[in-house]
Amino acid sequence: MARQFLSGNEAFAYGVRLARPQVISAYPITPQTIVVEKLSEFVEDGSLKSEFIHVESEHSALSCAMGASSVGARAFTATSSQGLLYMAECLPYAAGGRFPIVMMNANRSTALPWNIYGDQRDSLSQLDSGWIQAYAENAQEALDLALMSFYIAEHKQVSTPFMANLDGFVLTHTYEVVDVPTAEQADEFLPTFETENKMSLTKPKNLGFSAGPDTNTFFKYKEHTGLLNVKKAVTEAESRFESIFGRHYSGLTENYRTDDADYILITLGSISGLVREIVDKLREQGEKAGLLRIRYMRPFPNEEIAKAVKNAKAVGVLEKDISFGNEGTVYTNVNSALQKASISIPTSDYIGGLGGRNISPGEIENIFEELKQEKSAVKFLGIEVR
């Protein structure tokens, strides 16, 4: 294993190279572009043997990836924000078609107004599409996720496309020391892609057909089951990963000092790093604070969340999105998990970071302070409601 100083984007690209995708469809969009640029360098220098397709739009990027997957090839693409929304038609198409494509999404705000900086509105607006959705906290996790995502997506009981999210700029463009596994280790971890869900000359099939009222629900239920099976595929993947690479991951969520916590802040992505520091600081001051980091938004970790927060006095959700006219989407999902488990503690929604707005340590400390009031509320960081 070599240690390299890489940005989140670069780390992800290194991970993709290790996964040996056979077809890559590439279209640029800030802040993802570096991923496809790096991959094109790898193709040029011969270290990555892939058909690198310069598609002419994001819709074509995913459509091309689906075409490749439909003949049994491992396919990868990357996008962000406007691009994700432009290919939005293809998201449920790929999911319903059960094509285990991996797509890196650089979380970025969606227009209008135009904004290239990171928030999570793009991917969170597509939670219903049928894709697995995971959120990386740092560059190491990004690289590891790049490799694991193919394993999980291609798992026989999953066969579902995988969206790996990295916070735009904050994670995609910042640098860390990252362990880069060797190709041998990667090949040991990730088997070649095998599937029956493909067109082949020896076994012709008709794919992508229509299913009427009589049978449609059955197909959708099977798709839903595939997504629910991700939980066990993640467990399998992470245990296999740990045995080969020595790094441990904790499944759909990560609990940090939640066991005896009174006040737990739930969040996703790179902001978790800062929250972890604040939790430590508060703990030193005698406060029982905890962090619950959601790693997978789909499938949604209902049980893991309920288990982690059931003894807390209050829970906050810190997210970088808003479902206009209601509340933050992560908050909605979390509340549902608590409701299903009959946990009735106050929960608050903190919407911050929109359009790349900075979230300060002070603001996070304030959140924990407000949680002590044990009242439910939906708040925007930085906006005082008059």
Give the footprint of another protein on this chain (CB under 8 A): 22-23, 25, 50-51, 53-57, 59-61, 63-73, 75, 89-90, 93, 96-98, 159, 196-201, 204-212, 214-215, 218-219, 221-222, 226
Tell me the DSSP string of 286-327. T--EEEEEESEEES--HHHHHHHHTT-SEEEEEES---TTS-
Structure tokens at 120: 């999570």
State both tokens at 175.
């640098």
Distance of closest approach, residue 17 Cβ to another protein, in angstroms: 15
Q: What is the DSSP string of 99-137?
A: ---EEEEEE---SSSP--S--SHHHHTTGGGS-EEEE-S
**Toward another protein, which CB reaches closer, 88 or 345?**
88
Smallest distance from another protein to CB 73, Å:
3
Closest to another protein by CB, 69 vs 253, is: 69
Show the tokens assigned to 72: 């049994």
- Cβ 33 to another protein shortest distance, Å: 18
Find the shortest distance in angstroms from Cβ 327 to another protein. 32
Q: Which CB atom, from 211 or from 377, has the smaller least distance to another protein? A: 211
**Dist. CA 77–CA 28, nearest whole Å:** 10
CB-wise, 18 or 266, nearer to another protein? 18
DSSP-derived 3-state class of residue 3: strand
Beta bridge partners of 380: 351
Nearest CA among 321, 313, 327 for reference residue 294: 321
* Minimum gap (Å) between residue 158 Cβ and another protein: 11
Find the helix packing angle between 139-154 and 230-245, rounded to 10°: 120
Of 128 and 196, nearer to another protein (C-beta) is 196
Nearest distance, CB of residue 195 and another protein, angstroms: 9
Query: Residue 199 or residue 378: which is nearer to another protein going by CB?
Result: 199
Distance CA 78, CA 127 (A): 17
